[in-house]
């Protein structure tokens, strides 16, 4: 009796293993970024992850809300360390021990978070950073590894460094010619040896969209999967998409330098939906569907048949990210900022994406340009600029979802984004008498290209005025005015700090 019970149990365990094997790596992985003026509550994001079959998530920093919400979910977590922390972490092992104790050990033992990786730095050797992080990245990595071992986590939690794919290049133009950039070659050798000795992994971020962005002659079809019309032939291998070609350039570089068995993770890959003519719903859906299908099929690259972990970038849109790389930077989400669906994806066995549940929105009211105001009003341009310096207007640009609006709707869009970003507060829809609030949705009707322009209603984070029975006293009005200023100052700080990163 006891025997057969055990047998059934074993069968269940083996069975689950088989099912997971059949599904490839057993689920999807994504990046959860939180540079938003109105981030979704972490518990809602975690439900969104689980509902959509994400079994791994990467955080850019040890965000307490996110880590608490991930506790006990079984979702595997990669916790990032921002570049600003590299210098202190490099300077002292005690700082690293504190970081591990507060940001890793604590969440594992007290919250049941399944932390598997610490990602030290984020693209520290990006060419545009010049040499800023060259001296600190490796010592910080060593100190974090030492701290993990001291905390008794040396087996459970591995280290990695997420690097931009610009750390390697190919002289021949073919993947087989891959090698690490000569200016960081010896540093890379030390890092790779260290990762290899400590059971760590190399993480690389690959962006076919940015390849297309940087070079108008880049063959667009080559960015997608399953198009064999113009393969890149490299010896016996025909590359039909840039992700495989780029990944194998990295593998070739590793092989060339004696690290052919070092695990490689794709830390970021995805396609944005707005802010650029190539950033649109159709292309993003096509790219991400191709990506998800190959992840679920457990497909590797021509040079490495074992499928790598691939973290999709990203889960949700972030309206406070720096637009320095381009307006598309705020639109990488598979989901909109509020967890609503942008496009359908088959996420395995015919299952479709499901949206976030339990999201609370502000009232259904918008701020628009007053009907009696004139588009030629001399204050209009200044008012739009003001609104757009605090709120996200990246959808208004050329080739973007709201790029076809006339001057009046354009102004309305800007005013509304400001009004919503300011939580529909009193005084947030007062642009030199050019604006009014309305309860009629001002979103234009679909323009036929699936690039529907949405006039958002922001998520309710409890920052708007509570409805009050008596009319507010002048004193209350003054307080509101001041807290409004505090919110604006905070927003400016957020904007400035994102610009600095």
Ligand X SMILES: *[C@@H]1O[C@H](CO)[C@@H](O)[C@H](O)[C@H]1NC(C)=O
Contact segment (CB under 6 A) with ligand X among 201-209, 282-290, 305-313, 319-327 equals: 282-290
Burial readout 102-124 (b: 16 or more C-beta within 10 A, e: otherwise):
ebbbebbeeeebbbebbbbbbbb
Is 221 a residue of the active site? no
Q: Residue 202: what are its φ and ψ, rounded to 5°?
A: -95, 135
Q: Which two tokens stand for residue 273?
A: 């939906």
Give the per-residue contact string, 306-345, with ligand X (x = CB under 6 A; - = no): -------------------------------------x--
Give the per-residue contact string, 229-248, with ligand X (x = CB under 6 A; - = no): xx------------------
Is 255 a residue of the active site? no
* Ranges within 135-174 binding ligand X (CB under 6 A): none
In angstroms, give the least distance from the CB of 254 to ligand X.
27
Contact segment (CB under 6 A) with ligand X among 44-52, 111-119, 227-235, 308-316 equals: 227-235
Q: What gap in Å lies between CA 344 and CA 142, rounded to an integer?
A: 43
- Residues 6+ away with beta carbon under 8 Å from 275: 323, 326, 327, 328, 329, 330, 331, 394, 395, 397, 400
> Would you count residue 198 as binding ligand X (CB under 6 A)?
no
* Residue 151 or 189 with smaller CB distance to ligand X: 151
Contact segment (CB under 6 A) with ligand X among 260-268, 310-318, 388-396, 436-444 equals: 388-396
DSSP letters along 187-210, please?
Answer: HHHHHHHHHHHTT-EEEEE--HHH
In angstroms, give the least distance from the CB of 180 to ligand X.
28
Indicate which single residue of 146, 149, 388, 494 sits in contact with ligand X (rule: CB under 6 A): 388
- Residues 6+ away with beta carbon under 8 Å from 397: 275, 276, 327, 403
Q: Is 303:252 a contact under the CB 8 Å cutoff? A: yes
Per DSSP bridges, beta strands 114-120 and 158-164 are parallel
* Residue 62 or 184 with smaller CB distance to ligand X: 62
List the catalytic residue out of 61, 97, 268, 456.
268
> Would you count residue 290 as binding ligand X (CB under 6 A)?
yes
Indicate which single residue of 61, 234, 274, 423 sits in contact with ligand X (rule: CB under 6 A): 61
> Would you count residue 227 as binding ligand X (CB under 6 A)?
yes
C-alpha pair distances (Å), 191 with each of 145, 162, 203, 375: 12, 12, 12, 58
Give the per-residue contact string, 344-383, with ligand X (x = CB under 6 A; - = no): ----------------------------------------
> Would you count residue 62 as binding ligand X (CB under 6 A)?
yes
DSSP letters along 362-386, please?
Answer: --S-EEEE-TTS-TT-TTHHHHHHH
> Would you count residue 43 as binding ligand X (CB under 6 A)?
no
* Residue 281 or 359 with smaller CB distance to ligand X: 281
Please give the angle made by the CA atoms of 273, 343 and 205, to the nearest 5 degrees. Answer: 50
> Would you count residue 404 as binding ligand X (CB under 6 A)?
no
Phi-psi region of 130 (alpha: psi -120 to 50; beta: other; left: phi over 0): left
In the beta sheet, which residues pair with residue 114? 76
* Binding footprint of ligand X on the chain (CB under 6 A): 61-62, 82, 98-99, 102-103, 221, 225-227, 229-230, 281-282, 285, 289-290, 293, 343, 384, 388, 393, 396, 407, 410, 432-433, 450
Give the residue numbers marked as catalytic. Answer: 123, 268
């Amino acid at each position: 009796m006891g025997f057969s019970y055990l047998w059934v149990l074993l069968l269940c365990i083996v069975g689950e293993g088989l099912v997971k094997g059949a599904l490839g790596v057993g689920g999807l992985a994504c990046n959860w970024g939180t540079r938003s003026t109105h981030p979704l509550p972490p518990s809602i994001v975690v439900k969104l992850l689980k509902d959509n079959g994400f079994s791994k998530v990467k955080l850019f920093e040890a965000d307490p809300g996110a880590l608490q919400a991930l506790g006990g979910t079984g979702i595997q977590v990669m916790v990032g360390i921002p570049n600003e922390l590299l210098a202190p972490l490099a300077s002292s092992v005690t700082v690293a021990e504190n970081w591990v104790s507060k940001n890793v050990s604590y969440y594992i033992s007290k919250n049941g978070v399944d932390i598997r990786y610490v990602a030290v730095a984020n693209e520290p050797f990006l060419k545009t950073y010049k040499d800023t992080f060259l001296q600190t990245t490796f010592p910080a990595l060593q100190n974090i590894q030492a701290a993990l071992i001291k905390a008794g986590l040396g087996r459970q939690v591995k280290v990695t460094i997420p690097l931009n794919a610009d750390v390697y290049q190919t002289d021949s133009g073919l993947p087989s010619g891959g090698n690490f950039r000569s200016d960081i070659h010896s540093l890379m050798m030390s890092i790779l040896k260290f990762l290899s000795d400590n059971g760590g992994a190399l993480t690389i971020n690959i962006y076919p969209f940015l390849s297309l962005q940087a070079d108008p002659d880049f063959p667009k079809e080559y960015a997608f999967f399953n198009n064999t019309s113009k393969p890149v032939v490299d010896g016996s291998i025909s590359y039909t998409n840039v992700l495989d070609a780029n990944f194998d350039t990295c593998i070739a570089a590793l092989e060339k330098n004696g690290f052919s068995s070092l695990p490689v993770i794709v830390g970021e890959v995805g396609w944005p939906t707005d802010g650029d003519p190539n950033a649109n719903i159709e292309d993003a859906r096509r790219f991400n569907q191709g990506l998800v299908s190959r992840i679920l099929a457990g497909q590797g690259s021509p040079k490495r048949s074992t499928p790598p972990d691939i973290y999709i970038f990203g889960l949700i849109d972030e309206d406070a990210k720096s637009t320095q790389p381009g307006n598309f930077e705020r639109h990488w989400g598979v989901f909109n900022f509020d967890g609503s669906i942008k496009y359908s994806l088959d996420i395995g066995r015919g299952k479709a994406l499901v949206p976030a549940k339990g999201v609370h929105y502000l009232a259904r009211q918008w701020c628009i340009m007053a009907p009696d105001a004139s588009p030629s009003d001399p204050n209009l341009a200044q008012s739009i600029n003001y609104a757009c310096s605090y709120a996200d207007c990246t959808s208004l640009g050329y080739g973007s979802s709201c790029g076809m609006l006339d001057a009046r709707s354009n102004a309305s869009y800007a005013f509304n984004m400001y009004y919503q970003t300011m939580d529909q507060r009193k005084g947030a829809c007062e642009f030199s008498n050019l604006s009014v609030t309305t309860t009629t949705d001002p979103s234009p009707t679909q323009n036929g290209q699936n690039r529907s322009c949405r006039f958002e209603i922001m998520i309710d984070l409890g920052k708007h005025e509570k409805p009050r029975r008596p009319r507010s006293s002048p004193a209350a009005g003054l307080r509101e005015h001041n807290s409004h200023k505090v919110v604006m100052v905070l927003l400016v700080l957020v904007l400035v700090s994102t610009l600095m990163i």
